[in-house]
Amino acid sequence: MVTVETVDFGVHKGKTVKKITWRTSSGAEVSVISYGAIVQSIKVPDKFGVKKDIVLGFDDLEGYVKRNTPYLGATVGRCANRIGKASFEIDGKTYNVAANVGKDHLHGGIVGFDKVVWETTLLGTKVVFTYYSKDLEEGYPGDLVTSVTYEVTDDNKLHVQFKATTTKKTVVNLTNHSYFNLAGDDAGAQELYNHMVSINADKITETNSNSIPTGAFSIVRNTPFDFTLMKKLGDAMAAGQNLFDDNFCVNTLGPSILSLVAVVTHPTTGRFLEVHSNQPGVQFYTSNFLPSPSEPALIGRNGAGYRRHGAFCLETQTFPDAVHHSNFPTSILNPGEEYDHRVVYKFGVYTNDKVIEPSVLPA
């Protein structure tokens, strides 16, 4: 049986921020907050019954408002990832958006969806966060009504659904930016390197030195990007010069079906994570831009110091910069259409190479 609790988490610009927590019969807990529609906490027992938080985050609202430059747990939009040269053209009209990463646009701009308070509606064991983005907010055309629905089920699945409608043709590409470390949010890089990772993708989008796609694809076979068979993350990172921040092109079954995206395990604790989605891509990111060992750490939950390579992200999405590449799945949303992005994160534990709770099944 799943229980749901709602409490106040603070006030931002005169609006009360809500925190919703689910608890499952197996002992898992998931918390989300209405500021940024953020996944604030995911606590999962390991094979010894020890419960730890496996996503990076902050204890209080102030942490998210003042220190969350890495987008920990956030819903990012209107357009997640990058738009080259911070502009795009729709039907002959040019729209300029914020150049907030060099000369390019990242994660929705200066005040993206991660920095606003969403309206909260509880529907049984679901919570629906809703945000109304006005025409030309952060430079994007059209009034956009967006919702993010979260639900946790007793089989330890976190279900997330992003929906949006627009009054003008616009760019939409939403994602959740949770940072995972299955050893615990405070375990750091050494335990991240011990994770085993597989990603259901045969190619990645090729990028330039600024992480902007060229429009071409690179086959992963026999490269550090080949996660078609499960491999130790530390070995792959060393072979790839310690950098993963790349869009993997998922071997999808189509937008109406949740395809397997990735499976990650941590052998010491026995925890695993499966990701299923209806999106064509996933950004695999190993937190390269968190502080280096020579810099002050980002202080997170319970005083933990978060640093480079201390977590990984699996951001399901349309391909980055899709608005500039006709050979990519489109990021354009038209009036009368509905953007519908679904992703399921499934958590569990295994012992002796056997999954015991929950079983590994298609989403």
Residues 130-153: pLDDT tens digits?
Answer: 999 999 999 999 999 999 999 999
pLDDT at res. 254: 82
- Quote the DSSP letter at residue 240: T
- Contact 200/227 with Cβ under 8 angstroms? no
- Contact 275/342 with Cβ under 8 angstroms? no
Q: How do the pLDDT tens digits run along the chain, 363 residues long?
A: 999 999 999 999 999 999 999 999 999 999 999 999 999 999 999 999 999 999 999 999 999 999 999 999 999 999 999 999 999 999 999 999 999 999 999 999 999 999 999 999 999 999 999 999 999 999 999 999 999 999 999 999 999 999 999 999 999 999 999 999 999 999 999 999 999 999 999 999 999 999 999 999 999 999 999 999 999 999 999 987 667 999 999 999 888 899 999 999 999 999 999 999 999 999 999 999 999 999 999 999 999 999 999 999 999 999 999 999 999 999 999 999 999 999 999 999 987 655 444 333 333
Domains of the chain by residue range: 3-194+282-357
Which of 127, 126, 97, 123 minimizes the C-alpha distance to 110? 97
> What is the rounded distance in angstroms from the CA atom of residue 74 to the CA atom of residue 59?
15
| 3-state secondary structure at position 238 | helix
pLDDT at res. 7: 98
> What is the rounded distance in angstroms from the CA atom of residue 262 to the CA atom of residue 279?
12
Which CATH architecture is the domain 3-194+282-357 placed in?
Answer: Distorted Sandwich (2.70)
pLDDT at res. 359: 34
Q: Which residues are designated catalytic? A: 177, 315
> What is the rounded distance in angstroms from the CA atom of residue 89 to the CA atom of residue 104?
15
Which residue in this structure is represented by tokens 């019969």? Answer: 25
Binding-site residues from annotation for beta-D-galactose: 81-82, 177-179, 245
Binding-site residues from annotation: 81-82, 177-179, 245
User: Count of CB atoms within 10 A of residue 219's CB?
Assistant: 11
Predicted structure pTM score: 0.95
Which residue in this structure is represented by tokens 């197996």? Answer: 26
Which of 305, 233, 318 minimizes the C-alpha distance to 273? 233
pLDDT at res. 123: 96
Q: Give residue-wise pLDDT tens across range 21-36.
A: 999 999 999 999 999 9
